[in-house]
Amino acid sequence: MKTKNIFKYFMLLVLTLQLNSCVSTEAEQKFEETPTERLNKQRSELSNLLLSSENGWKAVYYTDDSQLGGFTHLFKFLPNGKVDMASDFDSDTEIYNSQYEIQLGSTVSLVFTTKNKIHLLSDSNNSPLAAGKGFLGDFQFLYYGQENGDIVFRTNRTVKEVRFVKATAQDWTDLKKNTVINANMTGDINSPLFRILETTNGGSVKKYEFSFNSVTRFGSAIPLEAENSETLKAAIAYTPTGITVKPAVVVGNQSLTDFTYNAIDKTFVATGTNGVSASIKFTNAPPRLTDDYKIFLEGGPQITIGYIAANLATAATNSPYAKSILDKVNATLAANQKLARVQIAFNDPLNGNYIAYTFNGGKAPIYHFFTTTEDPVNKTIILTDDGWIGTPAARAFLKILDDEITNPKGLYLKKESFTIFYTNVIYTYASASTPFRLTNYRF
C-alpha cells in the first residue's frame, strides 16, 4: 500500500475516534443527572412558574366535555405553600385561601392539599351524573411542561389536559359576571319553556331543538328539519359576556365557539363572516308542534283530562311558573283547604265543556264553562269563557290560574310518552304566551 494511502486511512481513523469520543462524552453528560435530580429540577421549574404570574393563573376546567361543561377557576399561588382561589362553580365567587404542594412521584404534580373550590368538582356527595362520582374532577395535576406561555397539566385520574393561562386583574374582577351569564342561560320561572339553536349561512337556515342542563352545563341540539340528521352536543363554559361551546358549532366552513349575550332579546349569538351566525334563543312555542290538540275540539269525542295534586304535583313537566301559580292559589285558602284537582272536560254530552276546580277540606267545587276554537297555524286550542257557576267574589282567587288556562293565545296540548303512578295517558298543556305548563291524566 502506498504511503499516501496509509496516511489517508490513518487520518480517517483518528477522526472516527474523535467523533466517537465526542458522542460518548455528551451521552455521559446527559445521564449524569439521576431521575431524582431531574424531578427536583422540574419541581423547581414548576414552583417558579406558579409564582411568576403577577395576577395568578386561570383554568377553564372541562372534567369530561362529552357530558359536562367547563368551570372557570382562578389561582394566585403564594411562596408559603398557600393559594388564593375563586371559581364560577356556583354563585359564590369569593376568594378562599388554602394549601398546595408540588409533589414528587413518577412525575411532578401540583396537588391542592386542603379543601377549596376545586374540590367541589371531585366531591362524591355532589354528583350530577353517576352517584358517588361527583363532577368527575381532580385536585392533582401532573406537570407536562410549558407551551406558548401556558402551563400544561394532565389530571391524575383521567389524564385529561388542563391548561393554566396567565390571569389578569380583570379576570378576578369579572368572575362574578359569569354567574350572571349562568342565570341568563338557565333562565328563571318567567323565562319561556323552550330553546332553539338556529344557524344561518347566508340564506340557508337550520333549526334545532336545544335542551340544556344547567347543573351539568351541557346541552344537545336535535335538528327540526327532516333533511338534517346532524345532532349537536355542547359543553358550555361561562364568560363575563356570554358562553363558549365545545366542540365548536360548524356553520359552512366556519367554526363558532363564542356566543355573546344580548340582553335586549335574551339570546346568545355567535357571529362569523359573510352572513354566518348561530344563536340560542328562548321561545314559548314548542319547537315541534303537534296536532294533539285537535281531538279536543268541538265535535270530537268526550274526553276529560285532569291535574291531580296528590299524584302530579311533583311531575317534572310542571313548569316552575305553573307551580308558583298553584302555590299562590293555595295560599289564599283556609289552612285545611288545598286545590285538589284542575279537571277539564271536553264535549260532555250533558254539560258541554267546563273546567272543574275541586278542593280538599270541604270547600265546594267551582265550575267554569267554555267553548273551543283552534289556531291551525300555531296549532293551539283556545278556551273561551262561556259562564261560571259561582259568584265573581267567590272565584276571584282562581283568576291567576284560570287566566292561564283560558288565555286568548291558546294552549299547546301534547300527548306524552311517559306515565306517572298509573297507566293513564299523560297530556300536558302549555300556554302560548307564558311559561305555564301543567301535567294531566286522561280519564
pLDDT one-digit tens code per residue, 285-314:
999 999 999 999 999 999 999 999 999 999
The answer for 2, left when phi > 0, alpha when psi is -120 to 50, beta otherwise, is beta
What is the predicted pLDDT for the residue at 127?
A: 85
184 — phi, psi (to 5°)?
A: -65, -40
Query: Mean pLDDT across the stretch 222-226?
Result: 95
CA dist., res. 399 & res. 426, Å (int): 25
What is the predicted pLDDT for the residue at 174?
A: 98
What is the predicted pLDDT for the residue at 128?
A: 87
Structure confidence by residue, pLDDT tens digits, 141-151 = 999 999 999 99
Residue 370 · residue 344 · CB < 8 Å:
no
Structure confidence by residue, pLDDT tens digits, 159-193 = 999 999 999 999 999 999 999 999 999 999 999 99
Please say if the pLDDT value at position 11 is more than 50.
no
Structure confidence by residue, pLDDT tens digits, 421-432 = 999 999 999 999
Please say if the pLDDT value at position 54 is more than 50.
yes
The DSSP code for 298 is T
Any idea which architecture 184-283 has in CATH?
A: Beta Barrel (2.40)
CA dist., res. 158 & res. 122, Å (int): 12
Q: Parse the chain into domains and list their residue ranges.
A: 37-167, 184-283, 292-442
CA dist., res. 318 & res. 330, Å (int): 16
What is the predicted pLDDT for the residue at 424?
A: 97
Please say if the pLDDT value at position 9 is more than 60.
no
Residue 57 · residue 49 · CB < 8 Å:
no
What is the predicted pLDDT for the residue at 126?
A: 85
pTM above 0.75, yes or no: yes
CA dist., res. 87 & res. 73, Å (int): 4
Cis ω before 240 (30° cut-off from 0): no
Q: What is the mean pLDDT of the chain?
A: 92
Structure confidence by residue, pLDDT tens digits, 320-366 = 999 999 999 999 999 999 999 999 999 999 999 999 999 999 999 99
Q: DSSP E strands: which ranges in 178-336?
A: 194-201, 204-213, 218-223, 232-238, 242-251, 254-262, 267-271, 276-283, 303-308
Q: In the structure, what pLDDT confidence band is assigned to residue 23 with cuts at 50, 70 and 90?
A: very low
Element counts in the chain: helices (H) and strands (E): 7, 24
Residue 347 · residue 299 · CB < 8 Å:
yes
184-283 and 37-167 share a CATH fold:
yes
What is the predicted pLDDT for the residue at 31?
A: 53
Residue 296 · residue 346 · CB < 8 Å:
yes
Residue with cell 296536532: 291
What is the predicted pLDDT for the residue at 443?
A: 94
Containing 27, the helix (H) or strand (E) segment is: helix 3-30
Structure confidence by residue, pLDDT tens digits, 34-45 = 877 888 899 999
Region 37-167: CATH code: 2.40.128
Query: Mean pLDDT across the stretch 111-121?
Result: 97
Q: In the structure, what pLDDT confidence band is assigned to residue 8 with cuts at 50, 70 and 90?
A: very low
